[in-house]
Amino acid sequence: MTATAPETLDLQRAAREHLWLHFTRMGGDGEVPIIVRGDGCYLEDSKGKRYLDALAGLFSVNIGYGYGEEIGEAAAAQMRELPFYTNWSYAHPRAIELASEVASLAPGDLNRLFFVSGGSEAVESAWKLARQYYSARGEMRTRVARIPGQRIDPVVDYEAAEAAALSTGRRWKAISRHIAYHGTTMGALSINGIPALRIPFEPLVPDVLHVRNTNRYHRPPEETEAEFTAFLLDDLEQTIEAAGPETVAMVIMEPVQNAGGAFTPPEGYWRGVRELCDRYDILLCADEVITGFGRVGAWFGSERYDIRPDLMTIAKGLSSSYAAIGAVVASDRVMEPFMQDTSMYSHGITFGGHPVMSAIALKNIEIMKRDRIVEHVAETQDTFRQTLSQLLELPIVGDVRGTGFFYAIELVKDKETRESFDDRECETLLRDFLSPRLFERGLICRADDRGDPVIQISPPLIAGQHEFDQIVSILGDVLTEAWTRVGR
Ligand SMILES: Cc1ncc(COP(=O)(O)O)c(C=O)c1O
């Protein structure tokens, strides 16, 4: 018999019978948390209980939950005008306006947008784009070489021209960082540096190499920042050399790495990464799916850290998650070979640049500008950090790190030695105790053990001192309780 929805649905029962939750253990008979409404930084569940959402959905509801009316009107107007049309060969006003708007906000010559439906698709598309860029560029150079009067004479030097094309031809490998999360589709998953996510789906897409991330907390305490930077860049260079530089299409990294806990870059790191990419002629992609649209106190992490990427991937904050939309943003240099006569990026997605999604993203950016959301983060990030730093007084808190409205609190067994909890302790501490207790206390943040155990904090970008204090107060109580439970 086909299940039909009864007139008044028992949501709890129906959720358990029909809804498959993402990254969730579906066994057991625990209640499914059902969130029914949101306002500002707060959410309410089906029983009327309120929560402070210190994770902004999934690091993504940058303007908070209170703009539904205004954004809904923009969506409804677009629905009336043109509910759908495609970007396959066609354009429509909202996609054009959104592309222009983001290009005007993006640093440097990141002027071209290829729209997709979310972050994984953006990463997937960036890798495909990087791969095709080298063959398209090779073809472009061959064509140029075949034109009489150009630099390489095609008659005399045809073989040299072709060899030049081939030598700059196909590249396919990607380099990313250990523990980094870049999404779940096969290409994006292959780029991930989290073994537990990768292993169930192997063999993955060839070939990805992983380099060290910028986690400083577990480095020798006497190491200077300059030494740390040199150590990381050396690792990257050795990896490029080992891979064969002529095979590497893309280095992809987040401006501030989320998984593992808000790893900020040491001084000189991005300058060095850019130089290495230039030296080996590799495209640099900044994965700004989280860091874009204000999270680190600037429109983009690339601007904040002067990364100068060739590609940027964006999603979440582009619409503050009011719509399923993302994009790859490409520089003029990357675009160039695709502008030649018959050249084409052989890729497309039905919903890429969807007019309603684009209208929502446009309205989101308009609101962010009007209500000075990015400026608010830049102005209050220091007090947010100071407030969170109070947690360092607790014996279980080893490190508070991050920037903007993007933080992680690392939990340790021993502050002196920085000894971490083992896998079994993480399971009992994070999954069995901390996550449910924080939720019970009305605070949504993430207890994460993809690297060393951390609590991730990333509230909507409209949060203020009241929310900062509430986060610290609840975390303080629950982490104190956790410490007694681990028998310390
Ligand atoms: C840096 C980064 N890239 C890509 C993704 C994948 O985005 P999505 O979940 O929208 O597919 C995420 C998601 O958290 C992310 O944090």
pLDDT 10s digits, 87-100: 999 999 999 999 99
Mutate-to-test residue for ligand 1 from 252, 257, 289, 320, highest number of ligand atoms within 8 A of CB:
289
Distance CA 468, CA 61 (A): 17
Mutate-to-test residue for ligand 1 from 254, 290, 314, 320, highest number of ligand atoms within 8 A of CB:
290
**Fold for domain 11-63+372-485?**
Aspartate Aminotransferase, domain 1 (3.90.1150)
pLDDT band (50, 70, 90) for residue 151:
low
Give the contacts of 149 (CB within 8 A, at least 6 positions apart).
none
On the question of pLDDT at 167 being above 80, the answer is: no
Q: How far apart are the first and last CA of the chain?
A: 55
State residue 455's pLDDT score.
96
Residue in 177, 249, 254 with CA at minimum distance from that of residue 210: 177
- What are the residues facing 176 on neighbouring strands? 210
The amino acid sitting at 275 is: E
State residue 451's pLDDT score.
82
pLDDT band (50, 70, 90) for residue 374:
very high
pLDDT band (50, 70, 90) for residue 36:
very high
Overall average pLDDT of the 366-388 stretch: 98
Taking the centre of ligand 1 as the mean of its atom positions, its distance from the CA of residue 119, in whole angstroms, is 4
On the question of pLDDT at 47 being above 70, the answer is: yes
Taking the centre of ligand 1 as the mean of its atom positions, its distance from the CA of residue 202, in whole angstroms, is 20
Tokens of residue 188, six digits = 């994006």
Q: How many CA atoms lie within 13 A of 64 on its CB side?
A: 22
Please list every protein residue whose CB sits less than 6 Å from any atom of ligand 1: 58, 118-120, 123, 181-183, 254, 258, 287, 289-290, 315
**Domain 77-370, what architecture?**
3-Layer(aba) Sandwich (3.40)
What string of H, E and C letters represents the secondary structure of the chain?
Answer: CCCCCCCCCCHHHHHHHHCCCCCCCCCCCCCCCCEEEEECCEEEECCCCEEEECCHHHHCCCCCCCCHHHHHHHHHHHHHHCCCCCCCCCCCHHHHHHHHHHHHHCCCCEEEEEEECCHHHHHHHHHHHHHHHHHHHHHHHHHHHHCCCCCCCCCCCHHHHHHHHHHCCCCCEEEEECCCCCCCCHHHHHHCCCHHHHHHHCCCCCCEEEECCCCCCCCCCCCCHHHHHHHHHHHHHHHHHHHCHHHEEEEEECCCECCCCCECCCCCHHHHHHHHHHHCCCEEEEECCCCCCCCCCCCCHHHHCCCCCCEEEECHHHCCCCCCCEEEEEEHHHHHHHHCCCCCCCCCCCCCCCHHHHHHHHHHHHHHHHCCHHHHHHHHHHHHHHHHHHHHHCCCEEEEEEECCEEEEEECCECCCCECCCHHHHHHHHHHHHHHHHHHCCEECEEECCCCCEEEECCCCCCCHHHHHHHHHHHHHHHHHHHHHCCC
Q: Which atom of ligand 1 is nearest to the CA of 180?
A: 1
Residue in 176, 185, 181, 183 with CA at minimum distance from that of residue 211: 176
State residue 62's pLDDT score.
98
Parallel/antiparallel/unpaired status of strands 406-411 and 50-53? unpaired
Tokens of residue 285, six digits = 């992609």
Domain ranges of the chain: 11-63+372-485, 77-370
On the question of pLDDT at 1 being above 50, the answer is: no
Taking the centre of ligand 1 as the mean of its atom positions, its distance from the CA of residue 30, in whole angstroms, is 28
Distance CA 211, CA 178 (A): 6
Tokens of residue 139, six digits = 């073809």
Taking the centre of ligand 1 as the mean of its atom positions, its distance from the CA of residue 314, in whole angstroms, is 9
State residue 430's pLDDT score.
80
Overall average pLDDT of the 341-353 stretch: 95
Taking the centre of ligand 1 as the mean of its atom positions, its distance from the CA of residue 144, in whole angstroms, is 39
Overall average pLDDT of the 115-138 stretch: 96
